[in-house]
Structure 1
Amino acid sequence: MKTLLNIIWVVLSGFWLFVGYMIAAAIMCILIVTIPWGIAAARIGVYSLWPFGKEVVDRPTAGVGSAIGNVIWVLLAGWWIALGHVVSGVALCVTIIGIPFGWANFKMVPIALLPLGKQIVDG
């Protein structure tokens, strides 16, 4: 069932969200100083491509550095990507079949805003 949900997800919104994350990751890696944010964006981009069967948990070793990094992330790219999740979620919720996928988009907004200090694990 997870595979079927992931295939439908990729077709409906996952691919374009993945592309957005990868663009953000490439820009962050080009700027050299922001490479840690680029790595986080790439990690979450892969998660946004195939999300069902995985979950996001807090990393117990995350500290003040992650909190400061998240503030910088929100200013640089996080709010754009979170907005993409919201717009995609609203568009998917228009149909009954798309509601679970819209809900999955809404569940990705917190990690799009605050990616540092999070870990993606198999659920």
Structure 2
Amino acid sequence: MRTLLNLIWLVFAGAWLALGYAVAGVICCVLVVTIPFGIASFRIAAYVLWPFGRTVVERRDAGVMSALGNVVWLLVAGVWLAIGHVLTAVPLFLSVIGIPMGIANLKLIPVSLMPLGKEIVSTDRPFAPR
């Protein structure tokens, strides 16, 4: 079932959202100072392509720098990416088969707003140590 949902997701929302994250990642990698934001953006782009069967958890070693970086990310790119999630979730809710994908889209909003200090793990092992 996850594979079917992921394939439908990829066609209707995943490819467009991943493209947005990839563009944000390239823009962030242009400057040396914002490379960590670019890496986080590419990590989320991979997650957005195939979200079912994975989840986001807080990293235990995230500190003050992650929090400060999240504030910068929120102001520069996070709000725009979250708006993209909302704009793609609304049409997905209009069909019965799109409801799980709309819910998944809304679950991606917190990580799009504050990606630093988060880790993407399999839903089979969400608390497994890395």
DSSP-derived class of the 1:119 partner: strand
Match of 1:69 in 2: 69
**CA separation in 1, counterparts of 2:52 and 2:22?**
19
Tell me the CA shift for residue 94 of structure 1: 1.3
Query: Are 1:15 and 2:15 matched, yes or no?
Result: yes
Residue 35 of structure 1 is matched in structure 2 by 35
Alignment of 1:1-123 (within 5 A): 1-123=1-123
Say which SS state the counterpart of residue 32 (structure 1) adopts.
coil
TM-score normalised by length of structure 2: 0.93
Measured after TM superposition, the shift of residue 71 of structure 1 is: 0.2
- Distance, in Å, in 2 between the alignment partners of 1:32 and 1:81 is 22
Distance 2:55 2:33 in 1: 29
Q: Gaps spanning 5+ residues in structure 2: where?
A: 124-130
The one-letter code sitting in structure 2 at the alignment partner of 1:107 is: K
Aligned length: 123
Q: CA deviation at 1:18?
A: 0.4
SS where residue 94 of structure 1 aligns?
Answer: coil
Residue type matched to 1:116 in 2?
L
Coordinate RMSD, CA, aligned: 0.6
Distance 2:52 2:34 in 1: 29
Identity of aligned residues (%): 57
Looking at structure 1, the residues matched to 56 and 111 of structure 2 have their Cα atoms a distance apart, in angstroms, of 8
Letter in 1 for 2:68: I
**Runs of 4 or more consecutive aligned structure 1 residues displaced over 4 Å after TM superposition:** none
Aligned to 2:62, the other structure's residue is in SS state: coil
Query: Which residue identity does 1:32 align to in structure 2?
Result: V
SS at match of 1:36: helix
1-side partners of 2:75 and 2:31: how far apart?
15
Structure whose residues are more often helix by fraction: 1
Task: Read off the aligned partner of 2:25 and give its amino acid letter.
Answer: A
Residue 60 of structure 1 aligns to a residue whose secondary structure is coil
